[in-house]
Structures are given as structure tokens and as C-alpha cells.
Amino acid sequence: MKLSWSFILSSLYCATSATKVGHVYLHDPVFGASSEAATSTVDPETTRLILAQRLGLSRFHAIRHPSEEVVQQINSYGGRQQKLFGVEDPAKTKAHVLIWLEDVEDPSEIIPNTLGLSSFTISNPPPASDNDRLIQDMILQAEALPRYADPKGYTYGNVIDAEATLSKLTETNVYNDYLVIFRADKTDNLSLTELSTGISRLLMKTASLKEQGFSMTVVCMPPSSSHAKRAAQPYGTYDLPSKIEARREVAEAPLSLASSKPSTSPNLPADLEDFPVITQAQANDSAPVLGILPGCFSSLAGCQKQTHNCSSHGECKLLHKGQKGSDSVVQDCYGCACTPTVVHVGQDHGMETKKKTTYWGGPACQKKDISVPFWLFVGSGVMLAFLISGGIGMLYSMGNEELPSVIGAGVSGPTRK
């Protein structure tokens, strides 16, 4: 039996494409990858576990029958190691940037060796369709997490800087205020120079921040072949938020008579580190601002987004200009400048108009300023209490005075003879 030329060429093409591997480059400001496993080759399922560990999605991904090599690879490339007992400092940044590039022939043209990033290769890289499915599932998992505590705004500031840098190349999205995902393929028509320049700028920014710098993961996938043999689940199986109960903590909301459903308590996750304290739970830009907000924001866009544009009761302005000194650098301080709300009440009669003025306060102008009515009420109460106590004291003092001698003489008894 003779083999056709088409079958032979197809076999040769498949054999050539099978030698292609994916490349993953890692950067961590504090938790660097191990230099011993700098040239390791990782299978797609272990790659998913490493990405889940780095992106803080470990609760959705279980390790089934791991080998010693798999555990060592996860520990080497997983970045931040989870603590068994104790909570990590909430002031540290949780920002992470995931850059996923498809159809990359030579990754060294985008990530030169001079950058000094740790890396590993992916054997039998899945096609672009499976990669897109993994990215979308990780987005759903990230959105289902409770928001991280960010009292000093480090995470939010890093996310804004990374998004601004990558948005110059193509559309970049931010998920759950900590995860920036940038995906590009040949349809985006981006040159290798543009990609290399954008990644280098990000590395320079995070390097300048030192311990408060954000982590980065760059995945370079080779062109996928339509003739390559595809696995049913190349990345393995994992949980999705639709299959398990959400781990979100119920946000405190005002009581309403229209709501008759009892509140349910959230289910706490197994690991304490992946369940941070929620300081702000916001559904959308029209929802009220909840939680503790910082007094200053590093950028105008950050102030507008985190305060919901000052709750529509003011506008974000530059409060203090940053200054560069010999010892430290003071960043710009943006905050809300509240404006009173004037509403007409009733009907106007001639020159007289009835207006109701409401003053606002708080870091997001979300609270009514009731200081004037409060002090009027307290002052009136104190004054009334003083008058009543003074009157009672005056009556008591008058009752204790002795009667005059003239009145006492008229009521004296007869004299004894």
C-alpha cells in the first residue's frame, strides 16, 4: 500500500509542530523563582496550577496525586507562598499583571535575556482556543474572590499604572481591582518592538517600587496547528464559581422593609491567607460607597473610580502637589471637594423661594453633614437643662430662707400672769 504525499506532508508538519514549546517568564519583587529550575519543562496541567498559585486562585484548583517534581515546580514558580497560620500584611500590594501572547515564533525577541527573568517551558502547548477558555475561567474565578484590603492604595496604584502602560498597545482589562490581563495575538498587528518596549516599561516601574512592586507573568505561546492532535482537557479539571458557593462576604447594607429575605453567613475558605478583610464592596458606579477609604489617592482616575466620582456630590481635585526631596518623594494627593446640593421645596411665592440645602462630607462625599443641626440641638438641650436646673435651685433656696421677725411677733401666744 502506498502512502499519499498529503499524508506524508501532514505527518511531517505534525512532527515539526510537536517540537514547539510555550514559554513562561516570571517576575516577583520579593518572591523570586528558584534558579535551580530555570530550564525546567512543565506540562500544561502543572502550568495551570502555577498560574493559579500566582494569581491567588488556588482555592479553585486542587492538586490530585502530585509527584515530587510537580510540587517542586509549583513551589519554585508559584511566587508568594501561602502561610499555614497567620495573615499577610494587608498593606502590601496584591496587584498582578498577566500578559498572554499567542503566535510567538521567537520569544527572545520580546523577552531578551538581559531582563534577567526566571522562566520555564511548556511541553505540548494547547491551542489558542483552550488558552482562551482557561483565561476566561480564571477571570470568573478572580471576580468571585472577595476584594483585597488595600488601606494604603498600593494595589490600586499599581493596577492603574500597569493598565495605563499596556492600554497604549491594545485593550487591557482589570478584574477585581487587582488583576490586569493583557492578551494579544497576530490579529492585533502588534510589532515585536512594541511588545518588548511595553514589557520593559512595566519591569522598570515595578523595579523602582522595590517591595511594593507588582508581580508579572508573561506567557508566550507558539502558533497552533490545525492538524495537531488535541486533548479533551489539556489543562485538567478545576472548579468554577458557578459550581461552588461564592466566597464573598455579605456587605453591610441599610435595612429595608421591602427586603424580607434573611441574610446568610458566608462560608469561610480553608486557607486564611486567601480570605482577606473586605474594606470596600462596590457593585457598580451607581452604588453607594462602602468601607474605609484612604484620605489621598495617587491619581485623578483612581479617585474618580474608587469614590464613584465623589458619589455625584462633588468632584476629584488635586489637594496637595507632590514634592521630591533628598530623602523621600511625596506623591500627589487627589481627593474629593464636596459641593452642597440645593433642592427647591414646595411652590415659590413671588420673590421668596423655598430651598433645601444639603451639605456633604466624608472622603467620598457620601455622608450628610449634619454638624449644624447637631450643635443646634445639643446647644438647645444644654440651655434648656440649665434653665430648668436653675429654676429648681432658685425655688429650693427661697424655701430655706427664715421668716422675718414681724410676722413671728404677731403669732406669739399670750403672756403668763
pLDDT band, residue 148 (cuts 50/70/90)? confident
- 281 versus 87: which is more confidently predicted? 87
Q: Which one of 37-41, 131-135, 285-289, 367-371 scores highest in mean pLDDT?
A: 131-135
* 8 Å CB contact between 110 and 101: yes
Q: In the 8-state DSSP scheme, what is residue 404?
A: P
Is 2 a residue whose pLDDT tops 50? no
* 8 Å CB contact between 299 and 160: yes
> Treating both helix axes as pointing N-terminal to C-terminal, what angle do 44-54 and 128-144 enclose, rounded to 10 degrees?
30
* 8 Å CB contact between 75 and 199: no
Q: Which of 90-94, 315-319, 399-403 has the lowest mean pLDDT?
A: 399-403
Mean pLDDT calculated for residue range 113-139: 89
* 8 Å CB contact between 41 and 121: yes
pTM, to two decimals: 0.56
pLDDT at residue number 122: 93
pLDDT at residue number 4: 47
- 42 versus 244: which is more confidently predicted? 42
- 275 versus 59: which is more confidently predicted? 59
Give percent of the chain above pLDDT 70: 70
Is 245 a residue whose pLDDT tops 70? no
pLDDT tens per residue across span 357-408: 888 888 888 888 888 888 889 999 999 999 999 999 888 888 777 766 666 5
Residues 100 and 24: their CA atoms lie apart, in Å, by 9
Is 93 a residue whose pLDDT tops 70? yes
pLDDT tens per residue across span 36-49: 445 689 999 999 99
